[in-house]
């Protein structure tokens, strides 16, 4: 057992400053699997080391995707290690051999959590979801299912279910992304509207969006050139602005 602060310090550097220099990196299996089960930021940081052991040293982790799925909570769009987490999640969900129910569960959970996410996170997660649809065409039933639920209470998807296979995600529809098409931020609404059209075969590059911050988003809006919009084509006369109004004879606006 290590203090939380020490766990974080170790896991941040473990994948690139420790594992490559070990004769037997598999000795870290127990440490990383325990850290992965702790939850929160520690689990997110353990993903880097686990990825190396799974990818390069044939580590088998039966409940890996179940735990990854349960790491998705409302804080995931706000944490300091968001870019690192979604970069690795993108890699883990890149295999075409994953079952459709599993990918659909990730899509639905990410979409449901997106309803309370900040704009800078939404501009990253919507292309992320679109890429999952490109890799796994069987999940497109979520977009093309006619007559989705009339309200949230009728959605068959079970958000509280920890087992992705029992979440009933494939029976649902992606009404969350449709609701984001009315988002107050125009860039988010435009990004969400992409699902109204047929998706291109080429995946979106999300690497430049992983670390997008609220400051960068605000700075981009401030630097936009303002367009002069005519507000009134006829000069106001009188109290109520009508040209031949009786009030215009007795009241004037100076």
Residue 60 lies in a domain: no
The whole-model pTM stands at: 0.76
Residue 68 lies in a domain: no
Residue 235 lies in a domain: no
Dist CA 117 CA 191 (whole Å): 14
Residue 121 lies in a domain: yes
b/e code 17-50 from CB counts within 10 Å (16+ = b): eebeeeeebeebbebbbebbeeeebbbbbbbbbb
Residue 249 lies in a domain: no
Q: Which regions of the chain does DSSP assign to beta strands (E)?
A: none
pLDDT at 92: 86
Q: Which residue has the tokens 């850290």?
A: 35
Structural domain of 214: 98-147+155-223
Residue 21 lies in a domain: no
Residue 251 lies in a domain: no
Query: Contact 169/100 with Cβ under 8 angstroms?
Result: no
pLDDT at 149: 56
pLDDT at 153: 66
pLDDT at 146: 63
Total number of domains constituting the chain: 1
Residue 20 lies in a domain: no
Q: How many Cα neighbours within 13 Å face the side chain of 19? A: 25
Q: Tens of pLDDT along 212-234?
A: 888 888 888 888 777 776 666 66
The band of 107, judged by pLDDT with boundaries at 50, 70 and 90, is very high
- Does the pLDDT of residue 49 top 80, yes or no? yes
Query: Contact 206/128 with Cβ under 8 angstroms?
Result: yes
């Amino acid at each position: 057992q290590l203090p939380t602060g020490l766990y974080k310090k170790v896991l941040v550097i473990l994948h690139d400053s420790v594992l490559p220099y070990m004769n037997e990196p598999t000795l870290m299996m127990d440490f990383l699997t325990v850290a992965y089960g702790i939850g929160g930021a520690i689990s997110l940081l353990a993903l880097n080391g686990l990825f190396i052991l799974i990818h390069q040293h044939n580590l088998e982790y039966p409940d890996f995707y179940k735990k990854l799925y349960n790491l998705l909570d409302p804080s995931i769009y706000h944490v300091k290690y968001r870019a690192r987490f979604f970069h690795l999640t993108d890699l883990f969900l890149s295999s075409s051999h994953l079952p459709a129910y599993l990918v659909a569960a990730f899509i639905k959970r990410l979409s449901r959590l997106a309803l309370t996410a900040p704009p800078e996170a939404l501009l990253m997660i919507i292309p992320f979801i679109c890429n999952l649809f490109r890799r796994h065409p069987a999940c497109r039933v979520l977009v093309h299912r006619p007559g989705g639920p009339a309200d949230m209470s009728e959605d068959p998807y079970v958000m509280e279910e920890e087992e992705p296979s029992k979440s009933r995600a494939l029976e649902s529809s992606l009404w969350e992304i449709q609701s984001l098409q009315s988002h107050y931020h125009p860039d988010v609404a435009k990004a969400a509207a992409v699902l109204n059209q047929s998706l291109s075969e080429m995946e979106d590059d999300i690497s430049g969006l992983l670390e997008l911050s609220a400051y960068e988003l605000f700075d981009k809006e401030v630097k936009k050139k303002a367009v002069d919009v005519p507000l009134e084509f006829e000069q106001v006369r009188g109290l109520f602005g009508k040209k031949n109004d009786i009030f215009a004879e007795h009241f004037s606006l100076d």
